[in-house]
Amino acid sequence: MPAHGSEPVGPFPPEADPVEYDKLRRRVLWKFPSGLYVIGSRGNDRRNLMTANWVTQVSFEPKLVGVSVEKDALTHELITADGIFTVNVIDREDRAIIRKFTKPVEEDHEAATLNGFAFRDAPVTGAPLLEQAVAYVDCRVHQAVDVGGSTLFLGEVVDADFQKAEETDVLRMEDTRMNYGG
């Protein structure tokens, strides 16, 4: 799934077999529980939605949410361009949509859809919000940290709301058979 080479990446513990250790380390990292989100981005007059699980709140004050995005993703280009993004929290019943946002989306401006899914522009930043998301945060980039193959965008939450009942069960990585990271 991730477009990374199969070469094991060090450092390796002394005496460890790099290949075996790499597999073990990946399985350990996959065990980290995580949520599963859709990131909305907009820049250079384009909008995109992307499936992501490297998402977490990172600070109380300012109110920052970190999302780590691969440098070759369209989302990376759009967030870098306009410095805005949304994080959409997904209904557990909607797990199938996760597969619809693993490639750049088709925008239908007239219908206000992205890959056929209704969106609207967030009231504060204008980045796209998925209409069927349970909740969202709308963010402005506070800092972009180069972390190698990805950039960790730290976004300040400038707006947040629920779009469905607060009690709605939300999607987590463990609800799917997918992995990312490791």
Minimum CB separation from ligand FMN for residue 95, in Å? 10
Does residue 51 bind ligand FMN (CB under 6 A)? Answer: yes
Determine the size of the site formed for ligand FMN (CB under 6 A).
Answer: 19
19/103 with CB nearer ligand FMN? 103
Q: Find the binder of ligand FMN among 103, 143, 162, 169 (CB under 6 A).
A: 103
Which of 71, 87, 79, 68 is CA-nearest to residue 46? Answer: 79
Does residue 154 bind ligand FMN (CB under 6 A)? Answer: no
Stretch that binds ligand FMN, among 72-80, 85-93, 119-127, 138-146 (CB under 6 A): 72-80
CA distance 85 to 153: 9
CB-based contact 153:144 (threshold 8 Å): yes
CA distance 144 to 129: 22
By CB under 6 A, name the binding residues for ligand FMN.
Answer: 1, 48, 50-54, 68-70, 73-75, 102-104, 150, 178, 180
